[in-house]
Amino acid sequence: MSFYDASVPAFLQILGSLSGILTKAEAHCAAKNIQPDVLLGARLYPDMLPLSRQVQLACDYAAKGCARLTHSEVPSTPDTEKTFDELKQRLANTTDYLKAFKPAQFDGADSREVTFPVGPGNTMTLTGQQFLNRFAFPNFYFHAATTHGILRHNGVEIGKRDFLGVN
Amino acid sequence: MSFYDASVPAFLQILGSLSGILTKAEAHCAAKNIQPDVLLGARLYPDMLPLSRQVQLACDYAAKGCARLTHSEVPSTPDTEKTFDELKQRLANTTDYLKAFKPAQFDGADSREVTFPVGPGNTMTLTGQQFLNRFAFPNFYFHAATTHGILRHNGVEIGKRDFLGVN
């Protein structure tokens, strides 16, 4: 197996599942007469980030993660999404961006060094494999699972199978 | 890099961070005069699993995941933990179990087939790399991030840096 197989499909699976989860969340709003803005702004605690930002960050960790691993230009996407449809478009755009990578771009990327920003004015350098496992994956899954947790906490009828993308 | 590097360290990082998060949760209980049982039984929604079960499942997906990848005997651990100390011991035992694997046991495991149970009476067969990315990692990170979400929702002063294990 290649390092491409170790990274891109993992991101794609969850980006797809998040889109399905947002579809269910939007239907929940319609069925329960909930303003979509309320759910999009929901948080698990007042100083945590709201649902919309969790989705945007999951997209960023996937897209920027793959860009850094392949030493491609790191994309910068303004966080302007204000509706479920716009967030699903962001997920679709991120999916398209990831699908455009060629497996060969990841050849040797596991042992190649990646230097990336960590906090204001600081950078860290890790091998690609370390970057993926210590930074890109845990951040990506954190925001994806928090998206699920916020919606679950608000009564949207989803489960772990939706998170895994097997529903 | 080896397939061992792609799997074991990723699990170890988060198992360690969960132990740190539980230490902060226990201190929060003491400081706020909260019965530990209340927090250990906390859920994000009534039909979700409580905190203690989220930690146990994170341990299981790490331990059983590595066992299946290496075609080792799959460990079965009774879910008897009832205190923060016992859950931290479960995390420590899982960490020790993972550390006992030798990198050579993972050589070729990325392309070797893994057959594993999915629901009652069903199994699925994937390559090791697919099993790790489609099943073991997303399940593991899901329960780890949900552990974080439950505690965050209940006011424990932790953040993403605690989840990443860099605090």
Quote the pLDDT of residue A1: 72
For B110, the closest chain A residue by CA position comes to: A1
Closest-CA residue to B136 (of A129, A139, A13, A101): A13
Residue A69 C-alpha, separation from nearest chain B C-alpha, in angstroms: 14
pLDDT band at A119 (very low <50, low <70, confident <90, very high): confident
Q: Is the pLDDT of residue B9 over 90?
A: yes
Q: Mark yes or no for CB contact B1/A146 under 8 Å.
A: no
Reported as a single tens digit per residue, the pLDDT across B120-160 is 899 999 999 999 999 999 999 999 999 999 999 999 999 99
Residue A18 C-alpha, separation from nearest chain B C-alpha, in angstroms: 13
Q: Mark yes or no for CB contact B134/A5 under 8 Å.
A: no
How many other β-carbons are positioned within 10 Å of the β-carbon of residue B120?
Answer: 5
Residue A14 has its nearest CB partner, among B130, B135, B138, at B138
Reported as a single tens digit per residue, the pLDDT across A32-66 is 999 999 999 999 999 999 999 999 999 999 999 99
For B126: left if phi > 0, alpha if psi spans -120 to 50, otherwise beta; the answer is beta
Q: Virtual CA dihedral for B12, A140, A134, B115, nearest 10 degrees?
A: 50
Count of pairs with CB atoms under 8 A, one residue in A, one in B = 111
Asked if residues B152 and A45 have their Cβ atoms less than 8 Å apart, the reply is: yes
Q: Could you tell me if B72 lies within 8 Å of chain A, comparing CB atoms?
A: no
pTM for this prediction: 0.98
For residue B42, CA distances in Å to A70, A156, B39, B52 come to 42, 18, 5, 8
Q: Could you tell me if A46 lies within 8 Å of chain B, comparing CB atoms?
A: no
Beta strands in chain A (DSSP E): 113-117, 123-127
Angle, to 10 degrees, between the axis of helix B51-69 and the axis of helix B137-153?
A: 160
Q: Mark yes or no for CB contact B6/A138 under 8 Å.
A: no
d(CA A89, CA A81): 9
* Token pair recorded at residue A42: 């929901």
Please tell me the number of Cα atoms within 13 Å of B35 on its side-chain side: 5
Q: Is the pLDDT of residue B1 over 90?
A: no
Identify the sign of the CA torsion A43, A49, A55, A56: positive
Q: Mark yes or no for CB contact B133/A13 under 8 Å.
A: yes
Q: Considering just the CA atoms, what is the radius of gyration of chain A in Å?
A: 16
d(CA B129, CA A10): 10
Q: Could you tell me if A4 lies within 8 Å of chain B, comparing CB atoms?
A: no
Residue A164 has its nearest CB partner, among B127, B138, B145, at B138
Burial environment of residue B99 by CB neighbours within 10 A (0 to 12, 13 to 18, 19 or more): exposed
Residue B74 C-alpha, separation from nearest chain A C-alpha, in angstroms: 22
Chain B positions in Cβ-Cβ contact with residue A153 (cut-off 8 Å) = 44-45, 153
Q: Average pLDDT in the A103-109 region? A: 97
d(CA A62, CA A143): 11
For residue B75, CA distances in Å to A12, B51, B59, B72 come to 30, 22, 11, 9
